[in-house]
Structure 1
Amino acid sequence: MMEKGYTLHFGGDSCTIYDNKDKTLKIVEVRMKEHKCFPIHLQYMGRTAIKAQEDQSWLWHRRLGHFNFQGLKILHQKKMMTDLPQIQAAKGACEACLQGKQHKKPFPSGTSWRAKAVLELIHTDVCGPMRTPSHEQNRYFILFIDDYSRMTWVYFMREKSEVFKVFKKFKNLVEKQSGRSIKVLRSDRGKEYNNSEFDKFCEEEGIEHQTTVSYNPQQNEVSERKNRTVMEMARSMLQEKHLPKAFWAEAVYTAVYLLNRCPTKAVQNMTPIEAWSGKKPSAKHLRVFGSICYVHIPTEKRHKLEEKTEKGIFLGYSTQSKG
């Protein structure tokens, strides 16, 4: 067995055998019998258990929007999410990740000032236009990222000119939720942010509006990095289920929802949503984006002989509804 790479540990009156690939994985512990022998009685089960574990790891990788396995292990080990089983890094490559994720060098991590409380600094950026409009005819989305918690909000727009209206809506929401006021807003120099109407509103509300140098996205690295991560995750989810590009908005919304429940280096030992709300997220309700689902039809909306469920496609989560 040792020639095949297995590790044998003798201690007391037993022998413990560890896997030849994963030296921390205990296969069996054998008690010493007469004549100081260690008889092993094994029934061949093939790779059933390992295969089942790998299948579960891939399932949670997909349920959490193709999030990386290292992040999933941290999520479980540090108990940052309830109802999440232990996850091992699966072998092989995820085709949807290869197709959907870019492989560019990341922005260099700067030593810029970090907020010490929620809403002290909000990062924002607009992405678009998308070649294919969503089912609601939107071509853009805008992200707002809280620097302290890294909690992210997404809104969809038909035109860039809607940014000011959307910002007021976002401001009203988060200030009511937190009981705090936005102190600093950081954006690029796009016209949608830099205009007299926007400047006047920020001045009246006591918001410092910081803008980055033109053609220098690294200065807005938090927004730019989040934008890229969201798009990569959304692409991977659409690619895996071969869904039409018109569902990009649903995929983007789901990506943001899941990233708020995944670990980030910027926040220690908790997810963004816990850092924002104080509530630990659960994995109980998570499902694979684009999967077939069955929706219950209420008794009031069907006759006695009609089907009780309607077949559909799972396209994300609602924050306004329990079901």
Structure 2
Amino acid sequence: MVVTLPLYSRLLACAIDNSFFPTTSPTKSIETISIPTFSEMRPNPENKKISNPKQKINTDPLAFKAKLFKWHFLFGHTGLRHIRRLLGDLAPNYLHFSSHEIHNCDEFLKSKSLRHLDLNSLNRSPTPLEISVSDLMGPFDVATINSRRYTLNVCDVASTHRECHILKNKSDATSWLEETINQWQQSSAHLVKTLQTDNGGEFNNATINMWLQRQGITHECSLPFFHQQNGVAECYSHKIADMSHTILLGSKLPNSFWGHAFMWATYTNNMLPNLHTGQKTPTEILFRVKPQIDWMRIFGETAFIHIPQENCQKLDDHAVKGNILMHLLNS
């Protein structure tokens, strides 16, 4: 017997060869369950008597659960959420099963397994330099003009103050990390108490661990393959990368100047208030110094560099045209 239905319902009521489906389910054999027609799935809120006994609505939850599994196989092992949307107007009274019901499908679990991120850092409200985080990015496809391919980003969680160093090798991260922490502690009235990094060899090695132990700094490493535990450092690194990419595009400079763009973006972020700092800037919170913005320039902006009189002849040009790339903090 062929049932003529609209196109939308015909897909649900079409005859399918049962040998196509697996023969196991949590409740009963799927081969014994046929896909219901539109009349069988139509709600009957007024409880009207149905003249044809073959068209009675099946209210057995176990039977409908088996039907759900058949739709699950029919639509390519899709999730129960999509089946709810497709059949919601056809069977609103029986779609009360949770998503865990579909998780008894072996093929679904093997092919669509996802990690549930239950491991997170503790929720703390640190003081300046109480918790510092670090992250290494690279290697970049394009080297800088001085053949460097890595960036070391160090950030204070409380003030969100950042430091960025462009490295030639990953092994250089240890020395630059020590230098950054020493500089922060000497320039501010605070001491670093905890350092959070990932489990990479550039951070978790004997040299840096011994130095941190002598300094009285606790080293917290994320678990292998759980980069989310070092999410603060990852977030800061991506924020700097996004800004540096944007300003590098706007400057029309070659991609080999990405290192200068990273340092420029880091310096700029230290002078901007954010959600965590309120009305103050990160540099102001950590070092208690208000930023000077009157002499800032746009990255890649055209500039004329003065040539000292001692280095040019009388008829030579006294300036050369160039582009602004970075601020000299120690000048």
Q: TM-score range by the shorter chain?
A: 0.5 to 0.7
Gaps (5+ residues) in structure 2? Answer: 1-119
Q: Hey, what does 1:115 align to over in structure 2? A: 126
SS at match of 2:276: coil
User: Does 2:277 align with 1:267?
Assistant: yes
Per-residue CA deviation, residues 103-159 of structure 1 (Å, 9 max, x unaligned), is xxxxxx98721212x221111000110111112211101111111211101112111
CA-atom RMSD in angstroms: 1.7
Q: How many pairs does the alignment contain?
A: 212
Q: 1:243/1:302 Cα in 2 relative to 1: closer, same or farther (>3 Å)?
A: same
Q: State the match for 1:138 in structure 2.
A: 148
More helix by share: 2
Q: Using a 3 Å threshold, how does the CA distance of structure 1 residues 176 and 228 change in structure 2: closer, same or farther? A: same
Please list every run of 5 or more consecutive structure 1 residues that lacks an aligned counterpart in the other structure. Answer: 1-108
Name the counterpart of 1:222: 232
Task: Find the aligned partners of 1:173 and 1:282 in 2 and give their Cα distance.
Answer: 20
Q: Residue 130 of structure 1: SS of its match in structure 2?
A: coil
Write the mapping of 1:268-287 to structure 2, written as runs, cut at 5 A. 268-287=278-297
Change (3 A) 1:143 1:134: same
SS of the equivalent of 2:186 reads helix
Percent identity over the alignment is 27
Instruction: State the Cα distance separating 1:177 from its structure 2 match.
Output: 1.0
Q: Which residue of 1 aligns with 2:137?
A: 127
One of 312, 315, 329 as aligned partner of 1:319: 329
CA contact (8 A) 2:121 2:229 kept: no
Shift of 1:196: 2.1
Question: Partner residue of 1:95?
Answer: none
Q: Determine which structure has greater relative contact order: mean sequence separation of CA pairs < 8 Å that are 6+ residues apart, divided by chain length.
A: 1
- 1-side partners of 2:284 and 2:325: how far apart? 24
Q: 1-side partners of 2:227 and 2:279: how far apart?
A: 29
3-state SS, counterpart of residue 199 of structure 1 = helix
In the alignment, does 2:256 pair up with 1:242?
Answer: no
Question: Which deviations, in whole Å up to 9, do the C-alpha atoms of 1:174-194 show, x marking residues without a partner?
Answer: 121114322100011111111
Q: 1:201 aligns with which of 211, 219, 230?
A: 211
Tell me how far apart the structure 1 counterparts of residues 230 and 297 of structure 2 sit (CA, whole Å): 33
- Report the alpha carbon displacement of residue 278 of structure 1 after superposing the two structures with TM: 1.4
User: Which residue does 2:175 correspond to in 1?
Assistant: 165
Q: Could you tell me which residue of structure 2 aligns to residue 189 of structure 1? A: 199
| Higher CA-based Rg | 2
Q: Hey, what does 2:190 align to over in structure 1?
A: 180
Q: Matches of 2:203 and 2:322 in 1, distance apart?
A: 39
The aligned counterpart of 2:306 is 296
Matched to 2:268, the amino acid is: L
Would you tell me which structure has more strand in proportion to its own residues? 1
2:220 alignment partner AA: Q
Describe the SS at the equivalent of 2:184.
helix
Change (3 A) 1:169 1:110: closer
Q: Distance in 2 between matches of 1:186 and 1:173?
A: 18
